[in-house]
Structure 1
Amino acid sequence: MNAVGIDVSKGKSTVTVLQPFGVVIAEPFEVLHTACELKKLVTFIKSLSGETKVVMEYTGAYYEPIANALYEAGIFVSVVNPIIINDYSTNRVRKVKTDKVDSLRIAAFTLDRWLELRKYEPADTVRKTLKIMNRQCLNLNKILVMQKNNLIALLDSSFPGANTLFTSPCRETDGHEKWVDFVLKFPHVDTVAKLSLSAFKAKYQSWCKKEEYRYSEHKAEKIHEYARTLVCTIPSTESIKMVISEAAKALNSTLEALGKLHSEMDALSTQLPEYEAVMDMYGVGKTLGSQLIAEIGDIRKLHSSKALVAMAGIDPPPHQSGTVDTRSRSISKRGSPSLRKTLFQVIGVYLQRQPENEPVYQFLEKKRTEGKPYKVYMIAAAHKFLRIYYARIKEVILAQ
């Protein structure tokens, strides 16, 4: 039995080899994540006599070069959640943190859990690409919120309430929002209020035609009337117009990038076997559906619906000691925050539309009528949704 513990970091890893009873076969040594160094490591591990298992931690994408190289060479590799390794190694008073010590701990963990280790299998290209794109979408959404708040703050001084003039959703072709394009053309209240109604109508109609928005004469009249009631606190100078226009352009650029990412994610998702089944689920559209598929991944890697719930981090861990048995517990939050966010968006659709024939909504409403707080019934509904998701997708994949 050869237990190879690898502590992974950016660009390099520290490797230790142990045998039962603490016999050190190889003292900790460093391996760079280059083709030549990884080839040498493969040769070294294959030269060890007896059965060999390699264990490393999930560390972002840093573990992938070495894990894939060993997997392709036919070596048993297991990639473990760092929390499990950390919990295993907390049985000491003095805390020591070095790459060498960590690789020794991982090797010791390998020996201790030898029969429980799960073999690593690289994610297929489509699923991996989907997850990368979804994480980019989440990052862009954060930037989008900041840019919207910034533009609205600027408009509060030049054209208060301009962001509330239109309720149209994002345009599918480029992701633009109508109010953002509107303030690009009319960045200050004076660009509307100082025009006559007929002049503004003509200008607004020309803008709608150019930007491919539907023109409404009644809407033009309402905007003009509203603009004449406003009081702005900054003058209509070229500098102010430039600042607002640049902020709107930056926001449009982010909206365009998000639109492209969502379209590409949906196109990639169609290549996966569970796509149709996910799209058939209530509350899931092209955007949320591709996000769910990206974050959950291959359902075959999960042994039960409980594992999927734990993966989302919405499972309340038990807390019992002596005569104390806590019934009201917080969720673990040990899983994917990205998946939890997507789940709450899906459950939000149930709350908005209130489909009485849907099991998830029926369960949510039951908890709500029992007087449960908002977060409690939302998490309960997310539990229900994931259990249904697991059952349906598992059935579809097994049928294929």
Structure 2
Amino acid sequence: MRILEPLQLFILEESVMLNAVGIDVSKGRSTVAVLQPGGVIVHKPFDVPHKSRDLHDLAQYLGSLEGDTRVVMESTGRYHEPIRNALSKAGLFVCTVNPHLIKNYGNNTIRKVKTDSADAKKIARYTLDNWAELREYTNMDTTRTQLKTLNSQFSFFMKQKTAAKTNLIALLDTTYPGVNKLFDSPVRADGSEKWVDFAYSFWHVDCVRNAGIKAFTDRYKRFCKHHGYEFQEAKANAIYKDSKELIATLPKEAVYKELIQESIRQLNLLSENVEHIRKTMNELASTLPEYNTVMNMYGVGSTFGPQLMAEIGDISKFQHREALTAYAGVDPGKNDSGQEVHNSSHASKCGPSRLRCTLYQIMTTMLQNGVREDDAVSSFLFKKKAENKPYLVYMTAGANKFLRVYYGKVKECLHNQEQAEQ
């Protein structure tokens, strides 16, 4: 006697035909397969170019299928967005899933087959087996996609800024050693720093000590007024005095001046771009329902908060908090076999590296600011550190704890908002 699967029983009871559309996405084109329960092939896998007319024809075809149709594709960087947007605008149920879920699904064959057609059918089978748990793409996901894109660009420009600053300091060490440590003024809202502005005008140590104390003081005063810094005569005297002891390895020549000043212009441009993206991310994140809850968490500020929301996305896509920690890759792995049991294993690191980077930066902020009595995460972090755990162990454990608290608070926030709307 043949035993019917739960999904097949649902079809028999409700008399609704289910059409599972699996799409294997690649750059410029996608492979589409349409299956029904029982392995029925509605349409053999076929390729669809990412052109407006072709996507329109695909949407019309899928919309004409009799029964309930759901489309699933992997979230593959940017490549899936054209087809996802086209099908969603056509009114179809579209769901994007983590590629890791598809990779680990249905590998119940000895023969390994890796083709676009096989992958499309594999995604369609995944769609059938997880029909009830699929989550439809919504307009709110568009905001989260924009936020994640901004975070990607923020990370890129931050790397460029760090490289530009390192290069500038290396150049200045040959003309004005230690100039980057002369001031402790905070970074301004536009990303500018006092030592960088100072180095643009006084790019060589001879610009200070060869001028004489009075001439340098007058010039430094004009510099402070021009850039809006507070002038302190004692600071001018200290800078002039220290310059007498410095040794420049490169002479004061025009070619080096041009190199340094061009490096400063590039650094200032990158700093301006970084701060603009930071501000835009914060404004966009403030439109999300969990914004205030996340921003009130200890260790989270105007930078880390939007980054967290960008990389985690909609919390409702995680069925439980362990799913979130697994997504971030900060869950402890297990590798037991027989009588061999390991009490500690490496973190899986299976997930977006930018999310783990943000989590470790939040943990670093907590370590710098100390324990807060009403915060469970910082107390747990310092407890693990006091137990003389290795650095990566207590940092990863703290990140895991933070995500569990994050999950609970954001879930409660969204639940309360739903209750209020009802």
TM range (shorter): over 0.9
CA distance in 1, matches of 2:314, 2:107: 32
CA RMSD of aligned residues (A): 2.1
Compared CA separation, residues 91 and 397, structure 1 to 2 (3 A): closer
Compared CA separation, residues 103 and 393, structure 1 to 2 (3 A): closer
Counterparts in 2 of 1:1-16, with a 5 A limit?
1-16=18-33
> Could you tell me how far 1:326 is from its partner in structure 2?
1.9
| SS of aligned partner of 2:188 | coil
Compared CA separation, residues 114 and 311, structure 1 to 2 (3 A): closer
Q: Which residue of 2 aligns with 1:156?
A: 173
Q: Which residue of 1 aligns with 2:103?
A: 86
Compared CA separation, residues 83 and 227, structure 1 to 2 (3 A): same
2:415 corresponds to 1:398: yes
Aligned residues: 398
> Could you tell me how far 1:221 is from its partner in structure 2?
1.4
Compared CA separation, residues 267 and 385, structure 1 to 2 (3 A): same
Compared CA separation, residues 52 and 397, structure 1 to 2 (3 A): closer
CA distance in 2, matches of 1:193, 1:92: 77
Compared CA separation, residues 225 and 360, structure 1 to 2 (3 A): same
Determine what percentage of the aligned residue pairs are the same residue.
46
One-letter code of the match for 1:175?
G
> Could you tell me how far 1:9 is from its partner in structure 2?
1.1
> Could you tell me how far 1:135 is from its partner in structure 2?
1.3
Q: Which residue of 2 aligns with 1:289?
A: 305
> Could you tell me how far 1:147 is from its partner in structure 2?
0.5
Compared CA separation, residues 80 and 281, structure 1 to 2 (3 A): closer
| SS of aligned partner of 2:104 | helix
Compared CA separation, residues 94 and 150, structure 1 to 2 (3 A): farther
Compared CA separation, residues 355 and 390, structure 1 to 2 (3 A): same
2:378 corresponds to 1:355: no
TM-score by length of structure 2 reads 0.88
2:257 corresponds to 1:241: yes
2:159 corresponds to 1:142: yes
Match of 1:102 among 94, 106, 119: 119
Q: Which residue of 2 aligns with 1:34?
A: 51
| SS of aligned partner of 2:198 | helix
| SS of aligned partner of 2:71 | strand
Compared CA separation, residues 257 and 99, structure 1 to 2 (3 A): same
One-letter code of the match for 2:408?
A
CA distance in 1, matches of 2:122, 2:222: 70
| SS of aligned partner of 2:174 | helix
Counterparts in 2 of 1:1-400, with a 5 A limit?
1-20=18-37, 22-88=39-105, 90-92=107-109, 95-111=112-128, 113-115=129-131, 117-122=133-138, 124=140, 125-172=142-189, 174-357=190-373, 358-400=375-417
TM-score by length of structure 1 reads 0.93
> Could you tell me how far 1:91 is from its partner in structure 2?
4.5
CA distance in 2, matches of 1:123, 1:347: 32
Verify the 8 A CA contact 1:68 1:122 in the aligned structure 2: no
CA distance in 1, matches of 2:42, 2:376: 57
One-letter code of the match for 1:238?
A
| Structure 2: segments with no counterpart, 5+ residues | 1-17, 418-422
Verify the 8 A CA contact 2:371 2:382 in the aligned structure 1: no
Cα offsets for 1:109-141 (capped at 9, x unmatched): 444x24465133135243332222111111111
CA distance in 1, matches of 2:416, 2:284: 22
> Could you tell me how far 1:349 is from its partner in structure 2?
1.2
> Could you tell me how far 1:62 is from its partner in structure 2?
1.6
> Could you tell me how far 1:8 is from its partner in structure 2?
0.7
CA distance in 1, matches of 2:372, 2:222: 45
> Could you tell me how far 1:177 is from its partner in structure 2?
1.1
Compared CA separation, residues 78 and 266, structure 1 to 2 (3 A): closer
> Could you tell me how far 1:336 is from its partner in structure 2?
1.8
| Structure 1: segments with no counterpart, 5+ residues | none
One-letter code of the match for 2:161?
L
Q: Which residue of 1 aligns with 2:11?
A: none
Verify the 8 A CA contact 1:283 1:349 in the aligned structure 2: yes
> Could you tell me how far 1:312 is from its partner in structure 2?
1.6
